[in-house]
Amino acid sequence: MIKPVPPAFIFMAGALLVPLLKGRLKAVYLIALPVLAFVDLLAMDNGTYWIVRFLNQDLIFGRVDRLSMVFGYVFVLITFIGVIYALHVKDDGQHVAALLYAGGALGVTFVGDLISLYFFWEAMALASVFLILARKTEDSNRAALRYFLWHFFGGLCLLAGIVLYALERDTIAFAYIGLSDPSTYLIFIGFCLNAVVFPLHVWLSDAYPRATVTGAVFMSALTTKSAVYILARTFPGTPFLIWAGALMTCFPIFYAVIANDMRRVLSYSLINQVGFMVCGIGIGTQLAINGVAAHAFCHIIYKALLFMSTGAVLHMTGKVRGTDLGGLYKTMPYTAVCCMIGAASISAFPLFSGFISKSMTVTAVAEEHFTIVWFMLLFASAGVFHHAGIKVPYFIFFGHDSGIRAKEPPVNMRIAMGMAAFICLFLGVYPDPLYRILPYPVDFVPYTAFHVLGMLELLMFGALAFTLLVLSGYYPAEMRAVNLDTDWFLRLPGRQFILFCQKPLQRFFESMNRILLGVVGTLKTWPRWAVGTEEKNDYLFHKKLTAFPEFIYARARYLKTEIKQLSFNLTYILLFFVVLLWIMLYWTG
């Protein structure tokens, strides 16, 4: 019997062969890789495998248990669907980046040490950058740079935390960490950035709408859910995550309502949904962790379906703004139906997948008597139906008639959307297959009168609010605008630092340069007539000698001005670093 290999290596090694293949052979090969990875998962038993000794530490590439298997299954499944969705793409770079990205996510899922975790973590970040750059527009290039800088910052925090953690505890085991000292806080920040915890969330709504049509599908599924998995393993039961998650479910609603770009609306709703998972991790009970794993599984499928639907519209029309679309149900009915299934799933409508997973987390919050958080989650449930459940399909396929008569997307895109839509319906009607693979035994019953009637009341309230606002004319107008997020506050220090580099630092070096040139010029001028020369021309000698005091005086005034400017800039620079040092010392205690 062939022994299983780390599933991450199947994708990462397989990606290297993609550019060598052409035509149908390439399509078959791309589909075969996730199938092979799924077979590999089925052959894996619980335990620890593929251990490599490195610097007196164990690098573990296979830590298999029920929690890691849930995420492993869904990552392979969404890669299979995403690959089918992207078969029409001729750019090999996108296929390679997507496979490396999926390999990184699987690597993060199954590693058992922090060093290997960091390697796969950074591989995911680099691969996803290329899925933004592949759009090949000025906006996507800028978004890719900002995305890279955000994740570079998160990677630095994570690496610094891992190093300190290993030095303090003499272990690199990827297990429960908890918040206790600077090393754990640095690791926590690195994980929270990928989990889009407020205020470290702005990179997602900035980058995802600017990624390629197919790249956004992979990005919506892998980065944030990998972070959810890691937080569930390393920081379960952290009280901060309860309130952070609750806040994440609420604030994106207001941004999604005023956003014009439909993929940006979905990006904000993604933050909203991850907030439910983060809140469940903070609760940390068995029911809550089951709810986190189940909701992550369902969310990956229905969010990918929504991004595939809007991506199909973008692919066929070249437009994705609400102001440019409308009336597409007439010529794209299949895409419209798939989009509505995804919208019903994300809204947790009964008989759709979101209902059987989100209700677990809400119930876990209620059982722990977090009343305010429970009300926040209910408000967020109504809000997500308002924007992702109604707004996206309404403004794209219904609403005003834009006059666009686009055809349905290529057959591979329709097959992928159909597969995701079927899973959303199947799990909504029959959740037992998902419940059986969750980390803990499940005795939760979603279809009770309380759960069904309570969710229907919320959904109908959201639908009524949307209808009244549209009919009354008070619904926020879909207009072209730049909506400022918390990145505006984060960019202010950045702008000041750039000004600091451009002005005091640059002037400091310019002053030093002018002073040195002035001194050198003085020394260079002196020997020509005052040192070691014969007085062959007394008149010329006395003329230069008379002019010498004036020359020295002018040079001294020039140097005095430069030294004064130099001292000012040097004081500014020292003050900057003193304040920075004080902040670091205060933070480290």
pLDDT value at residue 212: 92
Q: Which of 192-206, 409-423, 572-586 has maximum average pLDDT?
A: 409-423
Residue 334, pLDDT > 90, answer yes
Residue with tokens 């935390």: 161
DSSP 179-199: S-SHHHHHHHHHHHHHTT-TT
pLDDT value at residue 544: 45
Structure tokens at 303: 């969010």
**Which tens digit of pLDDT belongs to each residue from 73-125?**
999 999 999 999 999 988 888 999 999 999 999 999 999 899 999 999 999 99
Nearest to 87 by CA among 342, 420, 415: 415
CA quadruple 131, 132, 137, 141: dihedral positive or negative? Answer: negative
pLDDT value at residue 546: 47
**Which tens digit of pLDDT belongs to each residue from 158-180?**
999 999 998 888 888 888 998 88
**Nearest 5°: CA angle at 252, between 419 and 206?**
75
Cβ-contact 189, 154 below 8 angstroms: yes
Nearest to 313 by CA among 254, 398, 246: 398
At what angle are helices 213-234 and 182-194 packed, to 10 degrees? Answer: 150
pLDDT value at residue 290: 93
pLDDT value at residue 578: 60
The type of residue at 504 is: P
Residue with tokens 């990827």: 174
CB atoms under 10 Å from CB of 547, counted, come to 10
Q: State the Cα torsion 413-418-421-425 to the nearest 10°.
A: -170
pLDDT value at residue 243: 92
Percent of the chain predicted with pLDDT > 70: 79
pLDDT band at 129 (very low <50, low <70, confident <90, very high): very high
pLDDT value at residue 434: 93
At what angle are helices 66-85 and 23-42 packed, to 10 degrees? Answer: 170
Nearest to 77 by CA among 355, 334, 297: 297
Q: How far apart are CA 545 and CA 541, in angstroms?
A: 6
Question: For the chain, what percentages of helix, strand and coil (3-state, to nearest 5) are there?
Answer: 75, 5, 20
Per the DSSP assignment, residues forming a β-bridge with 52 are 59
Q: Is 24 helix (H, G, I), strand (E, B) or coil?
A: helix
DSSP H helical segments within 398-448, as ranges? 411-429, 432-436
**CA-to-CA dists, residue 453 to 192, 261, 347, 462, angstroms:** 34, 33, 14, 14
Across 125-147, average pLDDT = 89
Q: How far apart are CA 390 and CA 463, in angstroms?
A: 8
At what angle are helices 92-110 and 114-133 packed, to 10 degrees? Answer: 160
Residue 542, pLDDT > 50, answer no
Residue 20, pLDDT > 60, answer yes
Structure tokens at 317: 């029309």
Q: How far apart are CA 549 and CA 555, in angstroms?
A: 10
**Which tens digit of pLDDT belongs to each residue from 227-266?**
999 999 999 989 999 999 999 998 888 888 788 888 998 9
pLDDT, mean over the chain: 82
Residue with tokens 């004080």: 582
The type of residue at 228 is: V
**Which tens digit of pLDDT belongs to each residue from 336-389?**
999 999 999 998 888 999 899 988 988 899 888 888 998 888 888 888 887 778
pLDDT value at residue 228: 94
**Which tens digit of pLDDT belongs to each residue from 451-509?**
788 888 777 877 777 777 767 766 665 555 566 666 666 666 666 666 666 566 666 66
Per the DSSP assignment, residues forming a β-bridge with 400 are none
Better-predicted residue by pLDDT, 549 or 206: 206
Residue 330, pLDDT > 80, answer yes
pLDDT value at residue 547: 47
pLDDT value at residue 337: 94
Q: How far apart are CA 11 and CA 37, in angstroms?
A: 8
Cβ-contact 214, 85 below 8 angstroms: yes
Residue 319, pLDDT > 80, answer yes
CA quadruple 464, 469, 471, 476: dihedral positive or negative? Answer: negative
Q: How far apart are CA 414 and CA 85, in angstroms?
A: 8
Least confident residue range of 118-132, 228-242, 390-404, 505-519: 505-519
**CA-to-CA dists, residue 40 to 2, 24, 73, 482, angstroms:** 10, 24, 11, 46
